[in-house]
Amino acid sequence: MANITDETTFTTVTDDIEQHREVDRWLEMFSIFIHDLESPLASVKYLLNKLESGAYDPNRDGHRSLVHSSRVAVDRAESILYDIMAVARAGKAGIPLELTTLVPDALLREAIDLASASAAEHRIDLTYRNNAGDIAIEADPKLLKRVVDNLIYNGIRHTPAGGTVAVYTEPGEKCLFVHVKDSGPGLGDIEPSLLFEKYGQLQLRSEGKHRGVGLGLYFCKLAATGMGGTIIADDHPKGGAVFSIKLPKAEV
């Protein structure tokens, strides 16, 4: 009986320690979320100060661009918060999704259109090329667009002004690839698989490295695997980094 009690006590203490570690990791992640939200919120705050002071002039191009930039900033902040909620709700069951048969071309063009303002603001050339024609896949359209949005923004964030972020599709034997390539410095000595781990950003930042925003890339991994696919990252042979989503073709 004593042995059973000792074992139970040990298990309880171990569980408590792990729960405390999980809380600590979440607190660290929230400090990252706050840091990541500072930039988009600063853009909105600047616009509001202009409006409040009466200095805003809708006839000035610079002031109109402030409104546009603020809208992009709000969309980015919303995306970061969505990632947090999606991961928190996922648990062991994974992210809820609604799979449907779709040709991703229109969805990808929409993602490009939504990100074009952010790309222009950072003086990045954002391009799209459909190499897969009208190949249909099984995917959740909202989740897929969110994943692509995350990857595009990640590329913009790590590409210097004057660079390029290219989105393009590629047909596979029983799948379709969506690639997002940037012309930034690449991954360097970052272990690619670490980028998609739940607390990977904590380890990277502790080592003085940074690639991604909060839980964004972890969310991308959950969404891709939930749709029956995979997601990987690597240095591109021609320079920069490339993130690739592999999704299954729809059954005919």
DSSP 33-64: HHHHHHHHHHHHHHHHHHHHHT---TTSHHHH
Do residues 80 and 177 both lie within one domain?
Answer: no
In this predicted structure, the answer to whether residue 236 has a pLDDT above a threshold of 80 is yes
178-220 confidence digits (pLDDT tens)? 999 999 988 877 777 778 776 545 444 444 445 444 567 888 8
Contacts 24+ apart (CB under 8 A), 64-69: 68/117, 69/43, 69/117, 69/121
In this predicted structure, the answer to whether residue 122 has a pLDDT above a threshold of 70 is yes
Do residues 161 and 202 both lie within one domain?
Answer: yes
In degrees, rounded to 5, the angle at the alpha carbon of residue 13 between the alpha carbons of residues 7 and 17 is 145
Residue 241: band (very low, low, confident or very high) from pLDDT cuts 50, 70, 90: very high
The percentage of the chain sitting over the pLDDT mark of 90, rounded to a whole number, equals 34
Residue 43: give its domain's CATH number: 1.10.287
Specify the pLDDT at position 10.
47
164 CB neighbour count, 10 Å cutoff: 16
d(CA 141, CA 103): 10
Give the range with max mean pLDDT: 14-18, 40-44, 116-120, 166-170: 166-170
Rounded mean pLDDT of 106-117? 88
Residue 118: band (very low, low, confident or very high) from pLDDT cuts 50, 70, 90: confident
Specify the pLDDT at position 209.
43
Question: Of residues 88 and 238, which shows the higher confidence score?
Answer: 238
Specify the pLDDT at position 113.
84
Cβ-proximal residues to 36 (8 Å cutoff; 6+ apart), any chain: 80, 213, 214
State which of 77, 93, 109 marks the end of a domain.
93
Q: What is the mean pLDDT of the chain?
A: 78
Question: Of residues 209 and 102, which shows the higher confidence score?
Answer: 102
Give the range with max mean pLDDT: 18-27, 49-58, 125-134, 185-194: 125-134
153-175 confidence digits (pLDDT tens)? 889 888 999 999 999 999 999 99
In this predicted structure, the answer to whether residue 93 has a pLDDT above a threshold of 50 is yes
Domains: count for the chain: 2
Residue span of the structural domain in which 222 resides? 100-248
Do residues 121 and 226 both lie within one domain?
Answer: yes
Do residues 85 and 116 both lie within one domain?
Answer: no
Do residues 40 and 130 both lie within one domain?
Answer: no
Residue 123: give its domain's CATH number: 3.30.565.10
Cβ-proximal residues to 96 (8 Å cutoff; 6+ apart), any chain: 89
